[in-house]
C-alpha cells in the first residue's frame, strides 16, 4: 500500500505552511486511502487518526506536497477513475457519485463500505 511521511504541513485550503495541525504531524507516516489529481493539485485522502473507537473516521484530503513517499505499492482494490477532469485512484465503490456525501452523512451502507475497504487497504501494508 502507499504510505507517506509528513514533511511539512500546509493549512487546508491555503498555500500557508504551518507548524502544526490536529489532523497530521510532521514525521508521522500515514496510509493513503485515495489519490485525487486535478490540475494543479494532487491530494491524498488519509484516515483520521484522532477518531476514537466510537467515532466515525473523518478521512481528510491533504496536499501531496506535504509528504514524501515511504512505500509506493498500490493497493489491489484501487482502480483509476476520471470524471470532470479529476483522476482518482481508489476503490471503485468510493468513486460512485455521492459516496463521500453519504459517508459523511453517516449513511450505514457507505460507512460499512468505507470501513471494509479501509481495512483491506491497511491490511496490505
pLDDT tens per residue across span 99-123:
999 999 999 999 999 999 999 999 9
Domain that holds residue 51: 2-123
Q: Where are the alpha helices (DSSP H) in 33-107?
A: 99-104
Express each pLDDT in 25-46 by its tens digit. 999 999 999 999 988 899 999 9
pLDDT bin (cut points 50, 70, 90) of residue 57 is confident
Total count of domains within the chain: 1
pTM over 0.75: yes
Cα distances (Å, whole numbers) of residue 11 to 93, 109, 116, 122: 29, 32, 30, 26
Amino acid at each position: 500500500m502507499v504510505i507517506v511521511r509528513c514533511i511539512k504541513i500546509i493549512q487546508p485550503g491555503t498555500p500557508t505552511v504551518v507548524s502544526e495541525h490536529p489532523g497530521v504531524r510532521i514525521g508521522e507516516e500515514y496510509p493513503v486511502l485515495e489519490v485525487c489529481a486535478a490540475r494543479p493539485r494532487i491530494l491524498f485522502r488519509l484516515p483520521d487518526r484522532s477518531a476514537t473507537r466510537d467515532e466515525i473516521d473523518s478521512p481528510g484530503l491533504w496536499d501531496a506536497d506535504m509528504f514524501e513517499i515511504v512505500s509506493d505499492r498500490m493497493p489491489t482494490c484501487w482502480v483509476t477513475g476520471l470524471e470532470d477532469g479529476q483522476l482518482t485512484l481508489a476503490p471503485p465503490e468510493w468513486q460512485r457519485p455521492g459516496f463521500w456525501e453519504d459517508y459523511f452523512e453517516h449513511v450505514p451502507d457507505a460507512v460499512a463500505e468505507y470501513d471494509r475497504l479501509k481495512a483491506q487497504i491497511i491490511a496490505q501494508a
